[in-house]
Structure 1
Amino acid sequence: MDNDALEKTNRINVLHDFYGALLTEKQQTFVKCYFHDDYTLGEIAAEFQISRQAVYEHLKRAEQVLEEYESKLGLVDRHGRLLAGIDLLESQIAGLPAEWRGPFTETAAVLRGAELLVTTQEE
């Protein structure tokens, strides 16, 4: 798989984690099969007894819908910024004297746990 295809697959999987429940059941299934489970269009078409073109069109529409949700809601972007902020906070905490780190480390852990909880609930 080339780098662009891998990036697209990763992006669709992340978008699906956040917004997948808003897709139709068929779109959810096809996106999961194609992007997560690495089925080919032909394998999906055979499984669901439809044409490869129909599978392709369902996937294209699902991708468009996922990108539209992200464009309007920005949850994936927000999630990335929050995780980057938590990473920065943790590196700053590491620079503090050991006796000061405890409560700040706990707060960072609470923030990271809350942000991880959001993504695991969506899976």
Structure 2
Amino acid sequence: MAVKHLPADVLCMGVFMDNTDISQKLQEKVYLSLLYDFYGELLKNHNKQIFEDYILNDLSLGEIAQEQGISRQGVYDIVKRCSKHLTDYEEKLGLIHKFETTRQMAEEIHSLAAELKTEYREDTLEKVLALSRNMIEVL
């Protein structure tokens, strides 16, 4: 399926948004999903369910409010509070940063190992050893 490009201005929830606004909102949602994957279990069950419904299940504030029997403002406040908690966890623990750093090093090691498979070179082997040492230190 081909991805269709959106027009420069899009009507979103009654407000015209340009592509950069949409892109920012999408990036924010992806980042919040990633934070949730790493730290979601640290949220209280009630808040976790509301955050999950809003971010992962893409339910509206109104749908969640009706389902939970609370106001839309209450849902909004919980989502914002959860976002803050998850961001704070990442700032303190840095698990996503460590994961990304380790993943990048693993990709580089894989690439260098593929080079070694075709042609053995001492400098390439040294790079693999250095990267693997760095990876162990990061963990």
Give TM-score scaled by structure 1 length.
0.77
Query: Cα offset for 1:60?
Result: 0.5
Aligned to 1:96: 116
Query: Cα offset for 1:99?
Result: 8.9
Identify the structure with the greater strand proportion. Answer: 2
Q: Deviations over 1:11-49 (max 9, x none)?
A: 111111111111111111011101101000000001011
Aligned-residue Cα RMSD (Å) equals 1.9
Match for 2:103 among 83, 86, 106? 83
Match for 2:68 among 44, 48, 58? 48
2:94 matched to 1:74? yes
Aligned to 2:129: none
The separation in 2 between residues aligned to 1:45 and 1:68, in whole angstroms, is 26
The separation in 2 between residues aligned to 1:97 and 1:70, in whole angstroms, is 38
Counterpart amino acid of residue 85 in structure 1: M
The separation in 2 between residues aligned to 1:31 and 1:99, in whole angstroms, is 51
Specify every segment of 5 or more residues in structure 1 that has no aligned partner in the other structure, as ranges: 105-110, 112-123
Q: Which has more radius of gyration?
A: 2
Identify the structure with the greater helix proportion. Answer: 1
Runs ≥4 residues deviating over 6 A: none
The separation in 1 between residues aligned to 2:31 and 2:87, in whole angstroms, is 10
Match for 1:26 among 46, 63, 66? 46
The separation in 2 between residues aligned to 1:66 and 1:95, in whole angstroms, is 40
What is the aligned-residue identity percentage? 34
Aligned to 2:32: 12
Counterpart amino acid of residue 7 in structure 1: Q
Query: Cα offset for 1:97?
Result: 2.9
The alignment of Structure 1 onto Structure 2 pairs a total of residues equal to: 102
The separation in 2 between residues aligned to 1:17 and 1:39, in whole angstroms, is 18
Aligned to 1:61: 81
Counterpart amino acid of residue 84 in structure 1: Q
